Amino acid sequence: MKCLIKNVEIKAIATCLPQNTFEMNSLKGKYEDKEIDNMMKTTGVVRVHVAEQRQTTSDLCFEAAELLLKSEDINKDEIDGVVFVSQTFDYLYPATSVVLQQRLGLSKETICFDISYGCSGYMYGLFQAASMIHIGACKNVLLMAGDTNTKILNPDNLGARMVFGDCGSATLVSVGTSSIGFHLCSDGSGANTVINVNGGFRHWPDNAQKLDFSKNANKGDDVFAFIVSCGTKSIKTILDFMEWDKDEVDLYALHQATKFTLDFMKKKLKLNEDKAPFDIKNYGNTGPTTVPLVITDYAHKGLEVDTTKWKKVVLAAYGVGLSWGSIACDLSKTNIYRPINQDLR
């Protein structure tokens, strides 16, 4: 699916991380030092942020949204849409988006949606938000995306444990003078490539209290092949659709899967290193938050980063579903806030 949605813009982006961190070096002793060192070299991950037991994805998204709403020149009553993208929601029901609407003090006239997507979720969330504005239903949509995947990881799966971290984000999408290009795809034949068989009703246990969320599968080789094939094709597709040359793009905010995967994609696409930042070292793979997190992290790296020059930006992500997509947008006027931490102590 390719489309261009006009008269919409990304006004602001904020991200929030848990205060707690987990150092990969702490696994040495339980596992061979060489094995841990090799894993860190491949993934690029040195540490991740880990949510506390009573800290949920919505808590992190709430903090990011509060920062955004307090900093932007907008009244809460002006927010008329909420989109929450996550696979680690608060409850089976009600929808977490509705819980956040009340918690943030938004109007009861606000329309709310939950979208269950993983690493590609930010792409789909932006499309949902932009579509709500395009049809005239909303003027300001608050997109909140995030995951606390460390809560459901199999502790014996060293590969996943050394990659995934937790984070939440908030993005304000509003009526504007800009346009956003989308390319979104799905392939359910790859559903078993990344799957958690428990937690839904397909494999519901006799005793619901005995749910084991750690029984997830991630076929690493298949995931890598999917990302480098479909991911690169999608980026090329959105560039052709927008009639942009790859070298005139100011920023490529790509899903931070692993360093090895990211380096391979950049090499295959022949991207300038300075235009495709890498931030997985301190955060890991944060699911649907990797794209907004790499944007907020890189924007505050130093004075040499001038976000007002980000007129042509490509966002790309790919993950569970299988689902993937790329977005072309203008972030030159977007307010991008430094990542914050939520400390529950």
Give the pLDDT confidence of 310-338 residue by residue, as tens digits: 999 999 999 887 899 999 999 999 999 99
Whether 207 is covered by a domain: the verdict is: yes
Residue range 10-21: average pLDDT? Answer: 98
Mark whether 172 and 228 lie in a shared domain: no
Mark whether 171 and 193 lie in a shared domain: no
Rounded-to-integer distance, Cα 327 and Cα 130, Å: 12
Residue range 15-32: average pLDDT? Answer: 96
Q: State the Cα angle at 89 between 340 and 222, rounded to 5°.
A: 90
pLDDT band at 52 (very low <50, low <70, confident <90, very high): very high
pLDDT band at 221 (very low <50, low <70, confident <90, very high): low
Mark whether 12 and 149 lie in a shared domain: yes
Domain boundary residue among 148, 182, 216? 182
Residue range 143-167: average pLDDT? Answer: 92
Mark whether 147 and 126 lie in a shared domain: yes
pTM for this model (two decimals): 0.94
Rounded-to-integer distance, Cα 14 and Cα 331, Å: 13
Rounded-to-integer distance, Cα 104 and Cα 91, Å: 18
- Please list the residues that pair with 181 across neighbouring strands: 4, 328
pLDDT band at 212 (very low <50, low <70, confident <90, very high): low
Mark whether 60 and 174 lie in a shared domain: yes
Mark whether 327 and 196 lie in a shared domain: yes
Q: Which residues contact 66 (CB under 8 A, 6 or more apart)?
A: 104
Mark whether 159 and 273 lie in a shared domain: no
Mark whether 148 and 276 lie in a shared domain: no
Mark whether 191 and 173 lie in a shared domain: no
pLDDT for position 226? 80
- Please list the residues that pair with 340 across neighbouring strands: 16
Rounded-to-integer distance, Cα 18 and Cα 16, Å: 7
3-state secondary structure of 260: helix
Whether 67 is covered by a domain: the verdict is: yes
CA-nearest of 291, 262, 324 to 117 is 324
Whether 340 is covered by a domain: the verdict is: no
For residue 286, CA distances in Å to 36, 53, 235 come to: 20, 17, 21
Whether 343 is covered by a domain: the verdict is: no
Residue range 200-228: average pLDDT? Answer: 64
DSSP labels, 75-108: -GGG--EEEEE-SS-S-SSS-HHHHHHHHTT--T
Domain count along the chain = 2
Give the pLDDT confidence of 99-114 residue by residue, as tens digits: 999 999 999 999 999 9
CA-nearest of 260, 329, 316 to 288 is 316
Whether 22 is covered by a domain: the verdict is: yes
**Amino acid, single-letter form, for residue 227:** I
Whether 112 is covered by a domain: the verdict is: yes
Write b or e for each residue in 129-156: b if 16 or more Cβ atoms lie within 10 A of its Cβ, otherwise e. bbbbbbeeebebbbbbbbbbbbbbbbee
Domain CATH for 173: 3.40.47.10
Whether 341 is covered by a domain: the verdict is: no
pLDDT for position 229? 84
Mark whether 222 and 313 lie in a shared domain: yes
Whether 344 is covered by a domain: the verdict is: no
Mark whether 195 and 292 lie in a shared domain: yes
Mark whether 247 and 106 lie in a shared domain: no
Domain boundary residue among 148, 164, 182? 182
For residue 59, CA distances in Å to 17, 41, 87, 96, 272 come to: 10, 32, 14, 11, 36
Domain boundary residue among 151, 182, 213? 182
Containing domain of residue 288, as a range?
184-334
